[in-house]
Structure 1
Amino acid sequence: MRLRKSLAIAGCVSAIVLGACTTLQSTPDSPAAIKKSPKNVILMVSDGIGFNGWLATDYYQGLAGKQAYQVVRPDGTMPRVYGLSHSALNLIDKDGKPLARNSDVSLAAGAIEQGYNPNTRWNKFENAMLNDFDPVAKSYTSYTDSAAAGTALMSGRKTSVGRINKDWTGQNSFKTIAQLAMESGRSAGVVTSVMISHATPAAAIAHNASRNNYADIFNEMVQSDLSVLMGAGHPLYNGSDALVSDDKRSYKYLGGEQTYRSLTQQNNANGFRYIDDKASFKALANGDHLPLRVVGIARSGSTLQASREGLSSANTPSGMAYNQDVPTLATMSQGALNVLAQKDSGFFLMIEGGAVDWMGHANDMPRFIEEHMAFNQAVASVIDWVEKNSSWDDTLLIITSDHECGGIWGQGTWTNHQGGGVAADRSKAAIASARFNPQQDTFNDFIAVQDHGAGNMPGYQFASGNHTNELVPLWAIGAGSEYFEQFTRTDLKARKLWGKPYQWNGNYVDNTTVFDAMNAAISTSR
Structure 2
Amino acid sequence: MIRVASLTVMYLVFYAADLHGQETTVSEKPKQAEQEAQVNTADYLREMQSNAVREQQASWGHWGNQADRFSTWLNHSNRLIPVYTFGITLDSLRAEGSAYADPARLENLYGSVPEGSVNSTATYFDQTDVYQLQKSAIDAGFTNIIMIVFDGMDWQTTRAAALYQQHRNAYSSGRGTGLSIQDERSMPTDFGLIVTSARNGGAKYDVNSQTMLSGDKPATGGFDSTRGGDAPWNEKPALDYLMGLDRERPHTVTDSAASATSLFSGIKTYNGSINVAIDGTQVEPLARALQANDDYMVGIVTSVPVSHATPAAAYANNVARGDYQDISRDLIGLPSSAHRNKPLPGVDVLIGGGWGEGVDKDSTQGDNFATGNKYLHQDDLRRVNIDHGGPYVVAQRTKGKRGRENLMAAAQQAADDGSRLLGYFGGQGGHLPFQTADGNFDPTFDAKGTEKYSRADIDENPTLADMTEAALLVLEQSIEGFWLLIEAGDVDWANHANNLDNAIGAVASGDAAFRSVMNWIDENNAADFTAVIVTSDHGHYLVIDDIERIVKPAE
Give 1:396 shift: 0.1
1:396 aligned partner: 531
Structure-2 change in CA distance of 1:315 and 1:189 (3 Å): closer
Distance 1:381 1:268, change over 3 A: farther
1:188 to 289, 294, 298: 298
Q: Could you tell me which amino acid in structure 1 is paired with residue 406 of structure 2?
A: S
User: What's the secondary structure of 1:69's corresponding residue?
Assistant: helix
Q: Which residue of 1 aligns with 2:427?
A: 300
Aligned with residue 367 of structure 1, among 472, 481, 502: 502
Matched, 1:146 2:268: no
CA pair 289-451 structure 1, distance change in 2 beyond 3 A? farther
User: Could you say which residue in structure 1 is the equivalent of 2:488?
Assistant: 353
Aligned to 2:461: 326
Distance 2:220 2:109 in 1: 5
The 2-side partners of 1:316 and 1:236 are apart by 21
Equivalent residue runs for 1:37-48 within 5 Å: 37-48=141-152
Q: CA RMSD in A?
A: 3.9
State the partner residue of 2:276.
166
1:383 counterpart = 2:495: no
* Offset of residue 174 of structure 1: 0.9
Is the contact between residue 91 and residue 108 of structure 1 (CA under 8 Å) also seen in structure 2? no
SS in structure 2 of the partner of residue 165 of structure 1 = coil
Distance in 2 of aligned mates of 1:158 and 1:317:
39
Report the AA paired with residue 342 of structure 1: Q
User: Which residue number in structure 2 is paired with residue 466 of structure 1?
Assistant: none
Mapped to 1, the partners of 2:130 and 2:503 lie a distance apart of 35
Partner of 1:467: none
How big is each residue's C-alpha offset from its partner over 1:20-77, in whole Å with a ceiling of 9 and x where there is no partner?
Answer: xxxx79999x965889521110000000010010111122222851433323534xx2
Matched residue type, 1:69 = I
Give, in whole Å, the separation in 1 of the partners of 2:473 and 2:490.
24
Q: How does 1:223-302 map to 2 (within 5 A)?
A: 223=333, 224-235=345-356, 250-254=372-376, 256-263=377-384, 267=387, 269-277=389-397, 278=403, 279-283=405-409, 289=416, 291-301=418-428, 302=430
Change in Cα spacing, 1:32 to 1:72, as seen in structure 2 (3 Å) is: closer
SS at match of 1:212: coil
| Percent identity (aligned) | 27
Deviation at 1:146, TM superposition (A): 0.4
The aligned counterpart of 1:177 is 286
Residues 305-347 of structure 1 deviation map (CA, whole Å, 9 limit, x = unaligned): 1399xxxx99567377772210000000011011011012110
Alpha-carbon distance between aligned partners in 2 of 1:116 and 1:175, rounded to the nearest angstrom: 26
SS of the residue corresponding to residue 187 of structure 1 reads strand
Cα 1:62/1:205, change in 2 over 3 Å: same
Counterpart residue identity of residue 275, structure 1: A
Aligned residue runs from structure 1 range 308-319, under 5 A = 318=443
CA deviations on 1:374-432 (whole Å, 9 max, x unpaired) are: 11111111111111113221100001100012x011126xxxxxxxxxxxxxxxxxxxx
Output the CA distance in 2 between the equivalents of 1:16 and 1:108: 16
Aligned pair partner of 2:111 in 15, 31, 34: 15
After superposition, the Cα gap between the structure-2 partners of 1:35 and 1:162, relative to the gap in structure 1 and judged at 3 Å, is closer
CA distance 1:370–1:214, shift in 2 (3 Å): same
What is the TM-score when the length of structure 1 is the normalising length? 0.64
Contact kept, 8 Å, 1:151 with 1:158, in 2: the verdict is yes
Aligned positions of 1:345-494 closer than 5 A: 345-405=480-540, 407-411=541-545, 449-450=547-548, 452-454=550-552
CA distance in 1, matches of 2:228, 2:418: 49
| 1:163-211 Cα distance to aligned partner (Å, 9 max, x none) | 0000123x20111111122124421110000000000000011000000
Aligned partner of residue 218 in structure 2, secondary structure: strand
Distance 1:31 1:349 in 2: 14
Partner-residue secondary structure (3-state), 2:423: strand
**1: CA distance, partners of 2:145 / 2:439:** 37
Q: Deviations over 1:58-97 (max 9, x none)?
A: 22222851433323534xx23211111111112599xxxx
**Contact persistence 2:202–2:270 (CA under 8 A):** no
Note if 1:59 corresponds to 2:184: no
Contact 2:106 2:112 in 1 (8 A): no
- In the TM superposition, residue 124 of structure 1 has moved relative to its aligned partner by 6.6
Contact 1:236 1:299 in 2 (8 A): no
Q: 1:131 to 1:268 in 2, by over 3 A?
A: same
Q: Distance in 2 between matches of 1:25 and 1:71?
A: 23
Matched-pair contact (CA < 8 Å) for 1:193–1:304: yes
Matches of 1:130 and 1:146, distance apart in 2: 15
Q: Deviation at 1:285?
A: 6.7
Quick check: 1:45–1:401 contact (8 Å CA) kept in 2? yes
- Cα distance change on mapping 1:40 and 1:369 into 2, 3 Å: same
1:117 aligns with 2:224: yes
Q: Which amino acid is 1:9 matched to?
A: R
What SS does the corresponding residue of 2:545 show, helix, strand or coil? coil
| C-alpha distance in 1 between matches for 2:190 and 2:530 | 14
User: C-alpha separation between the residues in 1 aligned to 2:267 and 2:109?
Assistant: 13
Residue 297 of structure 2 contacts residue 475 of structure 2 at CA under 8 Å; is this kept in 1? yes
Residue 69 of structure 1 pairs with residue 181 of structure 2: yes
Alpha-carbon separation, structure 1, partners of 2:267 and 2:135: 15
Shift of 1:283: 3.1
Q: Tell me the amino acid that sits aligned with residue 348 of structure 2.
A: S
* One-letter amino acid matched to 1:408: L
- Structure 2 gaps of 5+ residues are 1-94, 114-127, 171-176, 205-210, 230-235, 334-344, 360-370, 398-402, 445-451
Matched to 1:165, the amino acid is: N
Q: CA deviation at 1:362?
A: 0.8
Q: 1:8 to 1:217 in 2, by over 3 A?
A: farther
Cα offset for 1:452?
3.6
In structure 1, runs of 5+ residues without a counterpart are 18-23, 99-103, 239-248, 413-448, 457-526
